[in-house]
Structure 1
Amino acid sequence: MFQQFSLTHVQFMLTGLGWTIGLAMIALIGGSIAGSAIALMRVSVNPVISRLAQFYIFVVQGTPLLVTLFIAYFGATYLGISVQPIVAIAVAFSFYAAAFLGDIWRGAIQSVPKGQREGAHALGLGRADTLIHIIVPQAVRIAIPPTVGFFVQLIKNTSLASVVGIVELTRTAQIVSNATFKPLEVYMTAAAFYFLVCFPLTLVSRGLEKRLKS
């Protein structure tokens, strides 16, 4: 017998929203750590290191995220490694985020005018000091808006984790829809939750972009 769509179901979906945001935050943190390394490798003067980072970005960006999730989820078992599904999916999302964040931050670093580097070298600063004290502070300002925008995409992409059993917002919506047979009401509620989280972040991203350009 089907249940009525009720406040209890909405509260259950809110717990899924918490997992959605948590998974996106894990991906952002893990992706930021690995993405920083990827960005530095991409701007390296060593062509081998730069090409390796470029190859990683091309492979990850050219592979559907769902396939990456399946590889992480089933790959650990294939290798005989026992991990929780949430761990495998968090790792997959982190590697996915690293490719995009590394590319975003590489673009931000390279968009800093060459005159800044030349001026730093004229003052006797080495490449590392120039990068740390001159280039990166300016690149951070450039990179913040697209990074926030990518975080919005991460939140929405976490819905793919439902196919491997992670009970995030989309998965809770599926469960509630099957229990209530009210798919329109349930998925409209889920869409509203996504909107309430993503739309303010989109406004923040646009506001930062305008402010930092001025």
Structure 2
Amino acid sequence: GGGVVAAMITFLTVSPQPMLKKIAQTYIWFFQSIPLLMLLFLIGLGVPRLIGVDVNPWTAATISLVLFTSAYLAEVWRGAIAAVPHGQWEAGFALNISFVSTLKKVILPQATRYGLAPTVGFMVQIIKGTSLAYIIGFSDLMLTGKRWANAPVLGSEPFVIFPLMAIIYFCICFPLAVLARKLEARDLAKS
């Protein structure tokens, strides 16, 4: 979800329409200014109390993560597009190719190379950030581990469970971090 919204916001940031660009910049600024934990609290606990509607933890966590992720990914991808030499845009326009076609056929294939490593690196941060969602009652790895640690069963002590959870997060995030480094090294070698 966050990637889809980020793609739309990114498109607005590079739009030739100043008003669309301003809307996208405001969206990015606003959601980058709010910590993920605060966003989870606001959407999971604050908004439901204000409007009197019950929001289940899964929905609140999803909305929060989409808003947070889309703002950061949109900025990463805007930067990747900006890294493509401006002459590429000019070449597309000189050949009378439309803005959208130039973006799609000329700019994005090159920008993908610049944006892939930071995108994968940010995915690692988001995976770790999902652990905050247990605060609003979302049953993720963190909440499950907390329940195990509180269970009156031998071997479920916190000093056993929490390191096990850290190992699980490590096993998920480390390969992605290695992939991001390899992609970055490959891009540097091509440059």
Q: Same fold (TM over 0.5)?
A: yes
Q: Which residue of 2 is the match for residue 131 of structure 1?
A: 103
Equivalent residue for 1:140, pick from 95, 104, 112: 112
Greater shift, 136-145 or 104-113, is seen at 136-145
Measured after TM superposition, the shift of residue 114 of structure 1 is 0.8
* Structure 2 residue matching 1:63: 3-state secondary structure: coil
Q: Tell me, yes or no, if structure 1 residue 185 matches structure 2 residue 147.
A: no
Does 1:71 pair with 2:42?
yes
Give the partner amino acid of 2:57: P
Q: Distance in 1 between matches of 2:49 and 2:83?
A: 42
Give me the whole-angstrom Cα distance separating, in 2, the residues matched to 1:84 and 1:166: 8
Q: CA deviation at 1:77?
A: 5.1
Identify the match of residue 203 of structure 1 among 163, 169, 178.
Answer: 178
Residue identity in the other structure for 1:199: F
Which deviates more from structure 2 when the two are superposed, residues 41-50 or residues 154-163?
41-50
Deviations 1:67-111 (A, max 9, x none): 111121131453244443201211111111100010011101111
Identity of aligned residues (%): 38
Unaligned runs of at least 5 residues, structure 2: none
Which residue in 1 is equivalent to 2:85? 113
Distance (whole Å) between structure 2 residues aligned to residue 142 and residue 86 of structure 1: 33
Mind listing any 5+ residue stretches in structure 1 that lack a counterpart?
1-29
CA contact (8 A) 1:76 1:88 kept: no
Segment of structure 1 superposing worse, 123-132 or 198-207: 123-132
Runs of 4+ in 1 over 6 A off after TM superposition: none
Query: Do the aligned partners of 1:32 and 1:97 also contact (CA within 8 Å) in 2?
Result: yes
Deviates more, 1:81-90 or 1:99-108: 81-90
Do residues 92 (structure 1) and 67 (structure 2) align?
A: no
62-71 or 195-204, larger mean C-alpha shift: 62-71
Cα contact 1:152–1:198 (8 A) shared by 2:
yes
User: Could you list the per-position Cα deviations for residues 188-214 of structure 1 after superposition, in whole angstroms to 9, with x for gaps in the alignment?
Assistant: 111111111100110011111112332
Size of the aligned set, in residue pairs, is: 185
Please list the CA deviations of residues 120-158 of structure 1 after superposition, one character each: whole Å capped at 9, or x if unmatched: 122221212111110111111211111111110011000
Measure how far apart 1:45 and its partner are.
2.0
Asked whether the 8 Å contact 1:42–1:106 carries over to 2, the reply is yes
| Aligned counterparts of 2:145 and 2:151: Cα–Cα separation in 1 | 10
Question: Does residue 44 of structure 1 match 2:15?
Answer: yes
Tell me which amino acid in the other structure corresponds to 2:51.
L
Structure 1 partner of 2:147: 175
Structure 2-normalised TM-score? 0.90
CA distance in 1, matches of 2:71, 2:140: 23
Distance in 2 between residues matched to 1:56 and 1:124, nearest whole Å? 32
